[in-house]
Structure 1
Amino acid sequence: MGNIYESDRLFKVWQYTVSHRRLLLRSSREEYGTRIDILFAGVERLCVQRVYEGLTIRRGTGEEARRIGEALDIEVDVESLYLLGDGISSFVISGAPQWREDDGYNDDPSRLGQLPGTP
């Protein structure tokens, strides 16, 4: 399967809210002149790194969903499985990710929607 998102930039886990089931990854503008936010909403499960030096996101396959499901002893809907990077060690089970590049600063709210606890 092909990548649905790919970037050479550095991304960090910027915010995760359990109660609102949202994960925000951010590449800040300091190094690149623009900011990129990637938002996963409706997060059911996740296993992510704190930092990604370059990021690819792709849909998981049926086999990958089966393997993750067996490891976690859960049923994984392949339509909700997004793999970050190579392999199955970093993933999000959620709704489809959204992303946006803009000129915002780190302390500005995401233009993908304000997350609780942010200005």
Structure 2
Amino acid sequence: MHERSVLAIEFPLRMDRQFQLWSYQVSHRVLLLRSNITRDATSRVDLMFRSVSAMELRSRYEWISVDLASDSRREQLSSLGVEVAAGAHLFSIESAFPGAGYVVAGSFYYAEDDMDYGQPSSIDHPELAHRQISSGEFG
């Protein structure tokens, strides 16, 4: 049996490919951003945030950079009423336009795999781990 190794995510995590806001499960507070297979990209990438308590996002990103928010960004959002509870992290989302967004979440995962458009995320399904090309987690 093949043991899958999951790497710690190093920030900023930047990917030069299009992403869409794919789903948000209210009951589980799980947010999924997805970049599907295209003519230029032979793999699919999922970015998943768990225990989401706040977010401001666009529906589409031309490229994406996920980073832990700077102190100044934390202060700016705090002044707008965005709270980061103990055990949560403030992730800054950047893209081709300024102020692309943020996510307050307990953890963050990514997985690159060879799966198709409508198939479930390999992050949530251990039985699909053999389809992953790379993966990582934080939190």
Which band: TM-score by shorter chain?
Answer: 0.7 to 0.9
Is the 2:20–2:34 contact (alpha carbons within 8 Å) kept by the matching residues of 1?
A: yes
Aligned to 2:102: 91
Maintained 8 Å contact 2:54/2:82 = no
Identity over aligned pairs, percent: 27
Which one has a bigger Cα radius of gyration?
2
Note the 1:97-112 alignment, pairs <5 A: 97-112=108-123
Match of 2:57 among 48, 63, 67: 48
- Is the 8 Å Cα contact of residues 58 and 100 (structure 2) preserved in structure 1? no
Q: 1:88 to 1:109 in 2, by over 3 A?
A: same
Which of the numbers 13, 18, 22 marks the counterpart of 1:14? Answer: 22
Q: Counterpart of 2:16 in 1: which secondary structure?
A: strand
Aligned residues: 112
- How many Å separate the matches in 1 of 2:62 and 2:55? 19
Structure 1: gaps (5+ residues): 115-119
Q: CA RMSD in A?
A: 2.1
